[in-house]
Amino acid sequence: MSAQLEIRGLSVVYRDAGEERELLQDISLDLQRGEILGLVGESGSGKSLLCRTVIGLMPSRSLTMTAGTVTLDGVAIHDTDMAGLRGRRIGMIFQNPTSHLDPVMTIGKQIAEGLRHHKRLSAVAAKAEAIGLLRQVGFPDPGRAYGSYAHEFSGGMRQRAMIAVALACDPEILIADEPTTALDVTIQAQILRLLIELRDRRGLSIILITHDLGVVAQSCDRIAVMRAGRIVEEGEKRALLADPRHPYTRQLIDSHPTMTHAGDEPAPHPHDRKPIFEIDDLRVHFPAGGGFLTPKREFQALKGVSLRVWPGETVGIVGESGSGKSTLARAILGLTRITSGQVSFEGHVLTRDPKATLKHLHHGAAMVFQDPFNALNPRLTIGETLAEVLRTQGETPAAEIETRIGELLDMVGLERSYATRRPRSMSGGQCQRAGIARALAVNPRVIIADECVAALDVTIQAQIVALFRDLIARTGLTLIFIAHDLAIVRTLCERVVVMHHGAIVEEGPSARIFARPEQAYTAALIAAVPDIDPDRPLNGGQTTLQQESAT
């Protein structure tokens, strides 16, 4: 049986100012009709570039396809009208729907626009079909969603809207470029289940681009592994995962955090000293509209949170976006105004004596942020960034700052030569190591890591988690690790705190929480974590979807 989409010997070269680099090298790949093909590899491996080349959407004029052919149903597509083919026969959805949805046009109008252009429908017919598409992709009130804007929806619902836009022209093939990377595990499970349902209902063929083997194991039929612009291995998912031939595939599998091995959680820390953080009935409210003629309203981001963190402990705080995790972190560091309640750090009470407590916090606690690039000053070298922190802290003599910078880079596994480099010349993982070095520069007793591995490839995630383990073992550091990836939390943290809608709904030792969750919400989070066992059903996210649909 001939493939629906055939790629043969495809190569792409980057040329600029005398520089020439081959970014895709002799790639041959097939997509069968009705198949979901997982395209897996780290950032920079060429996954997205391959798919953009297929549909003629090169991200730069410096890129040229130098060899190869792409055929759709036996016809070379680069010899046809690419503008007519894109959307109508091959649709594409992107990682960040916010960047690809028009912020000043309603969701419904964006879908209807494609319907009117490609199908020549009247305005009334296009609106009716757009509402039907919104219903298909899971909007609980499609009529209302038709007249709403992208910013009015959550990340998961924006991704559903993006899928509806792509489906508007009845494409035969859908390319999904990292469609779940930035989403919570429960929302990720919903989107993956939606793609599978659309394949079954519409007969779609799908190329799913991801760096997460758990995603492809539970949603794809076949896997192709890319590295450095080449396909290094491909095959039926069960055969490939059970017997990977290429060392890089084995590395990806070994790096994937797993939920299947019980008993490997860190042992609970003895609580034989005073807590380093004491949080009592903490409430944070933000203004949420209202004005001259309407009463002012408040959004309750934290609703009476109480928590103790002991010295040397590793605490994982988990929950979906909007659960209050990051607000809690910022509040206990004095970065967000507290409405009521109490925060105590090593006996200093933030709400009673804010000036003295903030000074104590600045010397004893530090934060590592989610986006490793935006968290660093692009104008400064890594050495200059670290020197700035050391000078501000005032504990390192000026003559010893350069030596201390070298020690900090050693601690996070970066060569000392990185002191002269700027963030733009470094990878995401290297930038995150630099961010951790900056946090360590104040000699903190506590580090709060806020989704610090969410944007990284699984192999880099594994390196950062190993780095934290090493730092904790060597320095006795207290770690508060905020994440929506429960598999990582399970292997790194001895205690888990589960947050939902601004409140703690469950907490306890990792071993107990993951083996015997007491709350349905916790169980739903655990069930939604994608595993590299291809026979484990994709059954997560249903509880949250029902709650979301009900609201």
Give the CATH superfamily of 1-87+173-179+204-259.
P-loop containing nucleotide triphosphate hydrolases (3.40.50.300)
Amino acid identity of 492?
L
CATH code given to domain 277-528: 3.40.50.300
511 and 491 Cβ atoms separated by less than 8 Å: no
Grouping H, G, I as helix, E, B as strand and the rest as coil, residue 127 is: helix
Which pLDDT value is given to residue 547?
Answer: 40
Centroid of chain to Cα 361: 29
Q: How far, in Å, CA of 505 to CA of 307, rounded?
A: 12
Beta-strand (E) ranges in 126-221? 173-177, 205-210
Distances (CA, A) of 449 to 172, 328, 367, 481: 43, 12, 6, 5
Element (H, E) at 73: none
CA distances from 128 to 124, 133, 263, 357 (A): 6, 9, 54, 59
Residue 297: the pLDDT is 76
Q: How far apart are CA 388 and CA 531, in angstroms?
A: 42
Q: Tell me what pLDDT residue 182 has.
A: 66
Low-confidence ranges of the chain (pLDDT < 70): 1, 79-81, 83-84, 182, 258-265, 288-294, 538-551
Please give the Cα distance from 514 to 550 (Å, whole number). 27
Q: E-strand spans in 43-98? A: 63-72, 75-76, 90-93
Ramachandran angles phi, psi of 396, nearest 5°:
-105, 120
Compute the C-alpha angle 249/435/181, nearest 5°. 45
Residues of the chain with CATH 3.40.50.300: 1-87+173-179+204-259, 277-528
Distance CA 175, CA 93 (A): 6
Residues 482, 509: Cα–Cα separation, whole Å? 16
pLDDT of residue 548: 40
Three-class SS of residue 26? strand
CA gap 501, 509 in Å, rounded: 22
**pTM for this predicted structure:** 0.79
What is the DSSP secondary structure assignment for residue 79, as one 8-state letter?
A: G
HSE-CB at 230 with a 13 A cutoff on CA atoms is: 9
d(CA 409, CA 395): 18
In order of 98, 329, 487, 519, the CA distances from 482 in angstroms are 23, 8, 12, 19
Where does residue 18 fall: left (phi above 0), alpha (psi -120 to 50 degrees), or beta otherwise?
Answer: left
List of residues 6+ apart from 418 with CB closer than 8 A: 382, 409, 426, 430, 434
Residue reference for tokens 């760096």: 211
Cα–Cα distance for residue pair 196/220, rounded to 1 Å? 9
Hey, what amino acid is at 443? N
Q: Are 432 and 372 in contact (CB under 8 A)?
A: yes
Predicted pLDDT at 440: 92
- Please give the Cα distance from 134 to 131 (Å, whole number): 5
Structure tokens that stand for 326 in this block: 């990051």
